[in-house]
Amino acid sequence: MQQGNFLFQAFIYLLAAVVSVPVAKRLGLGSVLGYLLAGVIMGPFILGFIGDEGQDIMHFAEFGVVMMLFLIGLELQPAKLWRLRIPILGLGGAQVGVTTLVFTPVGIALGLPWQASLAIGLALALSSTALVMQSLAEKNLTKTIGGRNAFSVLLFQDIAVIPILAILPLLAPSNVVESLPGNSFSWIESFPFWAKTLVVIGVFAGFFFIGKYLIRPLFHVIAKTRLTEIFTAAALLLIIGTALLMTKIGVSPALGAFMAGVMLAQSEYRHELETNILPFKGLLLGLFFISVGASLNLRLLTAEPILVFSLVGALIVLKFIILMVIGRIFKMKADSTLLFAFSLAQGGEFAFILLSFALQNNVIPSEVVEILIAVTVITMLLTPVFMLINERLIQPRFGTKEKEDEVDESGIEKNSVIIAGFGNMGSVVGRFLQANGVKATFLDIDADNVELLRKLGIKVYYGDASRRSLLQAAGAEEAELLIITLNDLDKTLAIVDTVHKYFPHLTILSRASGWESVYDIIDAGVHDVYRENFDSALHMGKDALIKLGFRAFQVSRASKRFAKHDKMALYEFAKTRHDHNSHLNKIRTHFEELEKLIQREQEDKHQHKNLDWDTLSRVTEQKQLARKK
């Protein structure tokens, strides 16, 4: 076996993910711990399937963190981000500041220079955004008070990476300053500090202008192609381009991706973007965690076990105490504070970048960096375990359970009706409902329709309505009706299948183009099917009879009977659709019975001359029920 072979390495990483994650999930440990343990086992110190190339793969896999920040940004509309300004600045600032102030004297007490101690304090103050957000999402804790506050701190930490990277070179004892790891150069490398700050602020301000006047129109043009792969390529192009721009101005690419997500948070395309990017993010994050596990130097653990595990314990305990104190100062409840502290009491992925950068600038000795990387990896390995202990053993003792932050969901419109497709039929249905005080949420993959609805102030999502994530984003879990008005049978059946699997409570009303389409949709389990031209054709027939001299009430009564009998017959026809002869005989019989029924009603019209049309309809329905009995 050639371990340097690309296909072999791809096989090893995928095998590690496929085997380890289901086992870890089965044990209740979560996917993150599964990835980390797989990396340790596959790494150079146990099975040896992953060697020195693991560090190179980690740099590639760090793009998963970038994508994760982009998706988080998509969920944070500017108004929501503004509402979080207090926990971001307050909780985040307090956590980073206090942790750095505590760790710096500890480093000095251990005999390190104050410059190295400060750099270590700044690096270890950061927690793992990827690990924490992934773990919280798996446990459905992202919308809890503790989860929301943990996210606020993580967001502040990601922003804090920018000034930390600017500070580290100033701590170097020599005048030799190298560029950020992985960057050949920075466009503003020679600028003074104040000029760099202005450039960064200008770039962030430009994000919102570009998002409104360039990116959204560009996605509108791309969406008109209706090619999912091109839309996905455009999304990846946006993320990669943003990350490259950020690295060229010396800013964290993850933060740049987050800002790109925020600028598209109010776009009608954000849910389709999220759906398309999600698989890439998941795979790359898995690679990242496997690489982190493989980077753990087990020889160092065997050589200096007391030192390493003492530092691991000190890091977790100190950060945990600091987080608990901060949580109580900000008046968080006990269960929220515990979740908050257990979530963030570890090192983070940005610590690897900062420690490497500090090493390149001669701020921290190499032997210290190697120990700190091992400590950071171990704390990340232990975090899912501690969160599990908190969930299973500690939280139940308090008799409380994290509740979702209801304030965060305020202002989000939840409609009882979802309409898939804004064509001629969908627009009429939607306008009729709205005229009667019932608002609907539209789903459409036609970019022009989406743009029109957005301008009209109607709630609309761009994307494929057969995707579970898009239906969920549109409020399918709270809605009552799903109206499908698409003129695409395959897509209609795909939507029906998704709804039956994940949203079985929804009542489906579906459009069909003809009898064969009706049969397929009925077979899929939909009982309310509407042929697109049936009502128009029936209305035309009514007008034709009136122009031939038939009385209006007589024609209306006949049309109602025809429509009702025809609809009932369709369900009978569907049962014999695969038996050609039986099917034709049933249709022929239906035509004969329907003709006789209407003629009989015309002969009996004098018996019902004092009955209005609605009353007559009820009388005939009662007769039909009596005959069935």
Whether residue 386 is predicted with pLDDT greater than 80 in this model: the reply is yes
Contacts of 352 (CB under 8 A, 6+ apart): 58, 292, 373, 376
Whether residue 405 is predicted with pLDDT greater than 60 in this model: the reply is no
Q: Are residues 526 and 485 in the same domain?
A: yes
Q: How confident is the model over 189-216, as a mean pLDDT? A: 73
Question: Concatenated DSSP letters for 140-168?
Answer: T-TTBHHHHHHHHHHHHHHHHHHHHHHHG
Question: Which one has a higher pLDDT value, 272 or 409?
Answer: 272
Whether residue 530 is predicted with pLDDT greater than 80 in this model: the reply is yes
Confidence (pLDDT) at 102: 92
> Which single residue is written with the structure tokens 């003809």?
514
pLDDT band at 586 (very low <50, low <70, confident <90, very high): low
Confidence (pLDDT) at 105: 92
Structurally, the chain folds into a number of domains equal to 3
Question: Which one has a higher pLDDT value, 319 or 247?
Answer: 319
The residue among 397, 430, 465 that closes a domain is 397
Tell me the C-alpha distance between 530 and 567, whole Å: 9
Tell me the C-alpha distance between 610 and 37, whole Å: 82
Residue 178 DSSP symbol: P
pLDDT band at 367 (very low <50, low <70, confident <90, very high): confident
Q: How confident is the model over 138-147, as a mean pLDDT? A: 76
Select from 34, 19, 26 the least CA-distant residue to 380.
34
Whether residue 303 is predicted with pLDDT greater than 80 in this model: the reply is yes
Maximum average pLDDT range among 264-278, 429-443, 494-508: 494-508
**Residue 402 falls inside a structural domain:** no
What separation in angstroms does the CA of 503 have from each of 396, 468, 479, 483, 526? 31, 9, 9, 14, 14
pLDDT for 593-625, tens place per residue?
A: 666 666 666 666 545 444 444 444 444 445 555
Confidence (pLDDT) at 456: 76
Q: Are residues 449 and 591 in the same domain?
A: no
The whole model's pTM is what? 0.57
Confidence (pLDDT) at 619: 47
The residue among 343, 370, 397 that closes a domain is 397
The residue among 475, 504, 532 that closes a domain is 532
Tell me the C-alpha distance between 590 and 598, whole Å: 12
Q: Are residues 29 and 79 in the same domain?
A: yes
Compute CA 154 distance to the chain's CA centroid, rounded to the nearest angstrom. Answer: 18
Q: Are residues 14 and 105 in the same domain?
A: yes
Q: Are residues 372 and 456 in the same domain?
A: no
CATH code assigned at 127: 1.20.1530.20
* E-strand stretches of 39-151: none
Confidence (pLDDT) at 408: 39
Say which range, 177-191, 310-324, 529-543, has the weakest mean pLDDT. 177-191
Compute CA 289 distance to the chain's CA centroid, rounded to the nearest angstrom. Answer: 20
pLDDT band at 173 (very low <50, low <70, confident <90, very high): low
pLDDT for 218-243, tens place per residue?
A: 887 887 777 777 877 887 888 888 87
| Average confidence score pLDDT of the chain | 76
Contacts of 151 (CB under 8 A, 6+ apart): 72, 133, 136, 142
**Residue 65 falls inside a structural domain:** no
Tell me the C-alpha distance between 157 and 441, whole Å: 37
Q: Are residues 429 and 297 in the same domain?
A: no
Select from 276, 302, 330 the least CA-distant residue to 91.
330
Q: How confident is the model over 72-84, as a mean pLDDT? A: 70
Instruction: Give the torsion through C-alpha atoms of 339, 344, 346, 349, to 10 deg.
Output: 140
Q: Are residues 113 and 159 in the same domain?
A: yes
pLDDT band at 413 (very low <50, low <70, confident <90, very high): low
Q: Are residues 27 and 157 in the same domain?
A: yes
Question: Which one has a higher pLDDT value, 12 or 416?
Answer: 416
Question: Which one has a higher pLDDT value, 121 or 180?
Answer: 121
Confidence (pLDDT) at 177: 43
CA angle 128/129/131 to nearest 5° reads 65
Percent of the chain past pLDDT 90, that is, above it, reads 7
CB 348 within 8 A of CB 157: yes
CATH code assigned at 454: 3.40.50.720
> Which single residue is written with the structure tokens 């359970």?
401
Maximum average pLDDT range among 179-188, 274-283, 318-327: 318-327
pLDDT for 23-44, tens place per residue?
A: 776 776 667 777 778 888 887 7
**Residue 253 falls inside a structural domain:** no
Q: Are residues 509 and 561 in the same domain?
A: no
Burial class (CB in 10 A: 0-12, 13-18, 19+), 82: exposed
Its domain, for residue 484, covers 415-532
Q: What HEC string does 524-580 produce? A: CCCCEEEECCHHHHHHHHHHHHHHCCCCHHHHHHHHHHHHHHHHHHHHHHHHCCCCH
pLDDT for 466-517, tens place per residue?
A: 888 788 888 888 888 999 988 888 888 889 988 998 898 999 999 888 777 8
Compute CA 530 distance to the chain's CA centroid, rounded to the nearest angstrom. Answer: 33
Q: Are residues 442 and 340 in the same domain?
A: no
Q: Are residues 159 and 301 in the same domain?
A: yes
Whether residue 253 is predicted with pLDDT greater than 90 in this model: the reply is no
Q: Are residues 619 and 518 in the same domain?
A: no
Tell me the C-alpha distance between 262 and 267, whole Å: 10
**Residue 273 falls inside a structural domain:** no
**Residue 390 falls inside a structural domain:** yes
Whether residue 140 is predicted with pLDDT greater than 50 in this model: the reply is yes
Q: How confident is the model over 37-55, as a mean pLDDT? A: 71
**Residue 405 falls inside a structural domain:** no
